[in-house]
Amino acid sequence: MKILAYIAGILILTVFCVFGFIFSSFGNSMIASYAQNLAKQKAGIELSFDKFELGISKVDINAKVNNEISASINGDFSVFSQNIDLTYEINASDLKSANLKLTQPIALSGKIKGKFNNFDANGAGEALGSSINFLANIKEYKPLSLQLNAKQLKIDEILALVKQPIYASGRIDITSNITEQNDMPNGMAEILIYDAVANNALISRDFNVSLPKNFTFKGAANAQIANWIANVKSTLITPIATANTTKTVYNIDNKSLNTDFMIEISDLAKLEPIINQKLNGALKANGDLTFSDYKLQNLNAVIDGLGGKIDANLKDGKLLAKIHSIKLEEALKLAAQPPYATANINATATIENLNDAKNIKGNIALTSDGKINKNELKKVANLNLAKDVGFSLNTDAIIAKSIAKFKANLLSELIKLKDVSGEFDIQKQSLSSKFSLLADDLAKFESITQQKLSGAVNLNGDIKVVDKVLSELGIYGSVIGGEINAKFKDQNLNATLKNGSLKDAFLLLAQAPLANAKLNLSANLSSIDLKNLNGDILLSFTNGEAYEKELSKLLEKNFPSGVKFEATSNIKLAKNVADFTTDVSSTLLNLKDTSGKFDINSGNLNAKFNAFIPELSRLKFATGRELKGALNATGDIVKSGENLIANLNSNVFGGTITAKLNNNDLNAILQNFTFKDLTDTLNMQHIYDGIGDGRLNYNLASQKGDFNIDINEGRLVSNDFTNTIKTFSGRDITSEIYKNGYLKGTIDKNLINFKAQMSAQRSDINVTNGTFDTTSQAMNIPVDFKYEKTDAKIAITGTTQDPKYSVSSEYLKGKITKEIDRFLDKKLGKDSNETNSSTTKDAIKGLLKGLF
């Protein structure tokens, strides 16, 4: 007995210590801190206390919520007798944290009095735009009576108070007159919603739903409560749809619900702002359902619409459903899709044990016959069918012990997906299936591809899905003119394609073919994760031929005809980085030993190349003029993000060139080139034998730049220009050696402005404002020429193919004038009539001088 007394004493002492700790100032501080953290974590509410005094017999607490709402509660509070007699107040002048200005301040106050498990609570004041008063009785923690009068509550202020976006504005009336009878609530409650307007912008932002402008709604719910059972009638009316219930029974005690329902959309065209598709007709759904313990138990529903009817009945885990003549085109419209196919869909389903995932059984059958509308399909996918294409779909599934065994065929004139069969484990969400895909005559696709096609596609396949993840996939047979054998298993892919057609590969991707070639592929990948590819790929193209028509469209230039090519590429992938080597040989360009790395994720590239162009004249479509000769160049390309840097080195024009492209800025340096090689390459008239150096700065985007060429040493060759000088001056300047000359200017798209200077021992040639149009080949070059005492101005116009020369010389003009004077004096002499003789000679001089 003493031991028991000691234990009882220790327990009593422990209880007193715990109570002493809780109701001490230190215990109060810990409880307040815990309450603040809990409010922050669970509700996102900033809770602070100006006063927190919780004693054994008294409580006095002043708190603030979000620094906006003030709340206080104080009075008698007895832990031992479990009596309470408290007074509370709630006040707020604004809800700035919710960006809402209250129409009137919140001011509520009242009392709570009674026992912990049986107390009365009352309150009155202003809140949420309404004058509110209530009286409630709580017994055994259940509400037995509630007298409530709250009218014209503001919807936006209610949403703000519960920390929700302001999805709507409007008013709500809530009234209640429920009293206790035999320890049970009895009475009525009513909710009215009116003057409500949706906030379209917020609804669109959060739910991606576009409601019509000025979307208003109203509703009402009326409940009669007796013996813990609520009988409710409700309705909701919007501009688009009406929903109501006429008999809803909710058992408050066991939380079960039985209700009917009706939803009606009288004009589907009103859905247009939401689904962005014009619809016609109406849709109506009605039925009844039962919930128990928050789970759906029974459902009966009839849906009229989409041109047909759906009947569904769910009871005790057994579902019976029938689809009668649903129109596919109406379903497409409802899904905001054009009616590119029409069909009647019929289906039946009988499924039992829906509540037992291991033992679901039943059967499903679906049939559909229809056609693809060629006109509507062209609008949707820009595909040209020669005619409407009929199709049929049949599928059957038998379910036993949650495993569905199914068969299906989708047949059409163009393509057939047939002999589809397999099993689906409903519980494990796993699938295994086999299928055949057949297009027996690709010529039927000619109207779609706009290309001549032949041959067939004949593929067989198998697929496995485990836990909703693709586990295995095999494809075997004939495709794009070749034989494919591909197997994916455990993230590994092994695939080969032999003698495929590059043209058909373009067509399979719904792209106009840019070329054709025999395509061979071998791939061994240890992962098909598009963000982490690993493995080896070997790709080759043989007997290739470029399609100049489509390439001309793509490049917006006249691509040459008859271009042949072959190519091979060896690719090693590691973590989505491709380490590659590629060789390309063609009648336009050869690329040898091209190698580098390409990051598939970032698009970054680092590569080196060795290029050989056997005949530059074949690149006229790209350069805009016919060039002569060949070009061999080496270089590298580095792309990082949006930045691109390329370097090129080559022996060209008898000298060397180094060029660098930094994004759009091109810088090139020419050293020790010969002018003859330069003019020969540019297919221009040979005018100079000599050596030069030069530089070019050019922006590809603006097509503007500048250049500077140093003319080191050389001679002019005999041509139209030197012959013109020889004709009027009698001087042959081709023997002159010119040193330290220059040619410099600017480029503005197709227009080149330049100046030049060349000096020799006895002659000088200067151009101060020359122009050349690269598109029309037109030129205007004013040349100032001087040979010892002889000077002349030579205007070169016309085109590079047909130049024209115009010469004028003050020096020669003076010499000719003196010779004319000497000749006339000699021939006419002096007359006795001096005046007449002088007049006659002046007239003749003027006439002869005018000829020159």
What gap in Å lies between CA 302 and CA 263, rounded to an integer?
Answer: 11
Condensed to tens digits (0 to 9), the pLDDT of residues 360-407 reads: 888 888 888 888 777 777 776 666 667 777 788 888 888 888 888 889
Radius of gyration from C-alpha coordinates of the chain: 47
Q: Which residue has the tokens 């070009």?
A: 631
Across the range 31-37, mean pLDDT stands at 67
Let me know whether 680 and 741 are in one domain: no
Model confidence at 703: pLDDT above 50? yes
**Residue 610 located in a structural domain:** yes
**Residue 795 located in a structural domain:** yes
- Domain's final residue, options 656, 684, 712: 684
What gap in Å lies between CA 769 and CA 745, rounded to an integer?
Answer: 9
Q: Residue 329: its pLDDT value, please?
A: 76
Condensed to tens digits (0 to 9), the pLDDT of residues 308-329 reads: 888 888 887 788 888 888 777 7
Q: Residue 572: its pLDDT value, please?
A: 93
The set of residues, in sequence order, having a beta carbon less than 8 Å from that of 473 and lying 6+ positions away, is: 461, 462, 463, 464, 486, 487, 488
**Residue 722 located in a structural domain:** yes
What gap in Å lies between CA 18 and CA 765, rounded to an integer?
Answer: 112
Average pLDDT along the chain: 80
The set of residues, in sequence order, having a beta carbon less than 8 Å from that of 30 and lying 6+ positions away, is: none
Let me know whether 801 and 823 are in one domain: no
- The more confident residue out of 144 and 579 is 579
Let me know whether 739 and 723 are in one domain: yes
User: ∠815-818-824 over CA atoms, to 5°?
Assistant: 140
**Residue 612 located in a structural domain:** yes
The set of residues, in sequence order, having a beta carbon less than 8 Å from that of 812 and lying 6+ positions away, is: 728, 729, 790, 792
CA-based nearest residue to 687, from 804, 763, 806, 800: 800
Across the range 677-682, mean pLDDT stands at 81
Condensed to tens digits (0 to 9), the pLDDT of residues 43-88 reads: 667 777 777 666 667 777 777 777 777 877 888 777 666 777 778 7
Q: Residue 810 — pLDDT band, cuts 50, 70, 90?
A: low
Question: How many domains are contained in the chain?
Answer: 3
Model confidence at 588: pLDDT above 60? yes
Let me know whether 699 and 785 are in one domain: yes
What gap in Å lies between CA 197 and CA 415, rounded to an integer?
Answer: 51
Q: Which residue has the tokens 């004013």?
A: 782
What gap in Å lies between CA 469 and CA 485, rounded to an integer?
Answer: 22
Q: Residue 637: its pLDDT value, please?
A: 92
Let me know whether 732 and 674 are in one domain: no
Across the range 681-702, mean pLDDT stands at 86
Let me know whether 780 and 843 are in one domain: no
Q: Residue 19 — pLDDT band, cuts 50, 70, 90?
A: very low
- The more confident residue out of 783 and 372 is 783
**Residue 469 located in a structural domain:** no
DSSP string, 484-545: EEEEEETTEEEEEEEEEEHHHHHHHTT---SEEEEEEEEEEEEE--TTS-EEEEEEEEEEEE
CA-based nearest residue to 497, from 519, 474, 524: 519
**Cβ 783 vs Cβ 791: under 8 Å:** no
Let me know whether 618 and 716 are in one domain: no
Let me know whether 736 and 752 are in one domain: yes
**Residue 613 located in a structural domain:** yes
- The more confident residue out of 773 and 61 is 773
What amino acid occupies position 293?
Answer: D
**Cβ 107 vs Cβ 127: under 8 Å:** yes
Model confidence at 567: pLDDT above 80? yes
Model confidence at 156: pLDDT above 90? no
Name the DSSP letter for residue 100. B
Percent of the chain whose predicted confidence (pLDDT) is above 70: 83
**Residue 385 located in a structural domain:** no
Let me know whether 831 and 798 are in one domain: no
Question: 172-179 contacts: CB < 8 A, separation 24 or more?
Answer: 174/148, 174/150, 175/148, 175/149, 175/150, 175/151, 176/146, 176/147, 176/148, 177/147, 178/143, 178/144, 178/145, 178/146, 178/147, 178/225, 179/145, 179/147
Q: Residue 11 — pLDDT band, cuts 50, 70, 90?
A: very low
**Residue 246 located in a structural domain:** no
Let me know whether 798 and 710 are in one domain: yes
What gap in Å lies between CA 197 and CA 201, rounded to an integer?
Answer: 12
Residue 760 belongs to domain spanning? 694-808
Let me know whether 638 and 701 are in one domain: no
Let me know whether 803 and 838 are in one domain: no
Name the DSSP letter for residue 624. S
Q: Residue 9 — pLDDT band, cuts 50, 70, 90?
A: very low
Structure tokens at 355: 């509540």
Condensed to tens digits (0 to 9), the pLDDT of residues 642-667 reads: 899 999 999 888 889 999 999 999 99
Percent of the chain whose predicted confidence (pLDDT) is above 90: 12
